[in-house]
Structure 1
Amino acid sequence: MALALDPAAQDLLFREAHTANTFTDEPVTDEQIQAVYDLVKFAPTAFNQSPLRVTLVRSREARERLVKYAMGANGDKTLSAPLTAVLSVDLDFHEKLPELFPHAPGIKDAYFSEATSREAAGTQNATLQAGYFILGVRAAGLAAGPMTGFDFAGINEKFFGDGKQKAFLVINIGKPGDDAFFPRSPRLAFEDAVATV
């Protein structure tokens, strides 16, 4: 067998998993989200910088503030999901590097002294962590509905007014509801996406 993961787990995480567009009203608990985070925190990032931050939007009031920045049907999806997570990059992630990467004392200043390079590195690595976050949601037996169709500048102003975080993804989370999934769209074949040099 080419994969170490058993077929049921492969289906749960990849083949049978879809982006969910509707959800039941079954709550997503704090314990479930902590279990997801405790799994996905092991995603690789450069220098273990771990710049991803997750803001859970639970209250109706907070959700209504969020959907003001949604495009198209994303607002209705977000209002009806039991939980929404706003994923952002912490632009001050380098402040935690001494504890996260202790065997390289000076790394914070050597590599991340310039704000522009820090933001680029943080965004790249937080995006990598976001993929793991979606897999973690699936591993918990939940469905994820990731969306980029939001005015993230507006979200940043309303939710992260101090400018220290930049949102880049909104994910609805829960048990899939009726007609939750669109038909599976095609994917590129191996020979169209993989090259050997």
Structure 2
Amino acid sequence: MTLPWEDDPGDAPLVMGAGQLAAVISNLFADSRRDGQPHAHVCGHGLQLTIGTAKGAVIVLSRKAGEPSVEEARTTAAQAGWARYSTEWKVVQGLQSLLIRPDHTAPEDVPAPPPLDPDPPDEVIRALLDAPGPWREASLSLRDPAEGRRQVLANFRRFQLRDFLAWARQHWPDRVARTLLDHQLAQDRARLREAIR
């Protein structure tokens, strides 16, 4: 079966692979948690994902022309990071919809973040080292004012950037991971916005 996010580009307003679907789901959950409102995204073949968090995490699959499939629900739940989930058919706004909820006995009710690149590109390491964090105060070369710091970072070679990243990961592993993840998610959002245009 061809899933809506594996369509031919001519058939879909946004063609996405599994990683892109996970990023879209993660962004919709973040938006819904931020303002308490449901947020939606239309994939290929008119499949609409609507995500809400006001009364617990829920993903609603619907389609104006037809019904979503159980296979689409399975793939969507997997990309949301839900190993266990329940489904329920319901008419929502006049459309036959498939509601997906995480199984509350499982700890996977929050979408898993995408895996971090163990060896990120130079520009990502530079962005990390330029971002506010304890590594800036602990390193003499990163204490400079913004312009000087950026010049120092621009002159670093690949091995120097890797050394700095290893040093920062050793001293502040959680903070480095959060900062890298934030940067990675921002890049993913920018790519998705560009793909939508």
Normalization by structure 1: what TM-score? Answer: 0.27
> Does 1 or 2 have the higher relative contact order (CA < 8 Å, sep 6+)?
1
More helix by share: 2
Normalization by structure 2: what TM-score? Answer: 0.27
Larger-gyration structure (1/2) = 2
